[in-house]
Structure 1
């Protein structure tokens, strides 16, 4: 798979809707397969370590999205809000978690308990574990109704995460831009100049965020108001009980 290494020094740069310059990861011209031997595209940079593939065919992904829309139920009330800078805000998307008994996920002032696994989620988890060789006991699901729903910059560094474990990000529905920004190149007091990396996550795709990506890189899903379709994202994780 070495031929799929992405050299992040490439100078192919564009701007997103907010005017931020972005670096396009280099990819080869080979279409990734969707059979048992998946082709992973390796995305590498300054402590950036990700692998990307198409996990399901268009037809399979369409069926899964339909099944998710019919069966998944999302959090409401206090579990649908976050505490940021001393104020409570509604989460700009729908959210729910499933996993092994007793697991929770704490972020931005809320603790999200895991609901029991469903046959649908177990089926997807088994597929991801089979192609990656990784075990997962928890999944956080975000539903974006359209391009207005979004997720701000953050790192997945919660105490419940097993140290150095990968996070498997599975996407269904509307393709969306996923932006990585190096921790030392953010804001007015940036210490280094490292261009952000943008990946368009496709319907039926899997992005593996491997160690040490979440130590050094923030990621986000910025608003794209021109987009009108639903996106569902599942991040499978290995968690511990605190």
Structure 2
């Protein structure tokens, strides 16, 4: 067994364990954390298949944005775990039937749908000195296509997303009177005399020395 096969079995075992814990964990936060672990192992499998772009997209989009958002939402919500588990055994037969059907369909596709297929290779439209095509990774080939042939569509999509983000911020921005806001222009033009006031105080005096206890008793007598 070579190293690639060993990594495949390692990623697969951890992925199956994480997927099982997603549906069996009682704590929603633990379920989301195991889902993040499952996505990371799936990205490792994509790397073994030489699909670098899909692996990077899975890490950046799902682990870096979606799963973090899910984690914050689950932690902020007051989820009643006991209430959610009520009626579990009532719907278990239907859920088990659907799960077994999906598992059989996936097994049929995986066992009979990919036999005799060769490993895909990404070939860039670049020739070396001998006139042979240069074999590069699919991420590099995709990057060359995006920033050469499809440069303008990519820039237009980026501008549209930027406008949508600014519009969402502008629509949700509300001026509240109970919040303490600071005007940046006032901070720039502030002067030291406006912030600092020097107050004249009298010179400090030495504290009186306490009298001995015997002298104090004599004065009282």
With the shorter chain as reference, the TM-score category is: under 0.3
Say which structure is richer in strand: 1
Structure of higher RCO (CA pairs closer than 8 Å, 6+ residues apart): 1
Say which structure is richer in helix: 2
Instruction: State the TM-score, normalized to the length of structure 2.
Output: 0.16
User: Which protein shows a greater Rg?
Assistant: 2
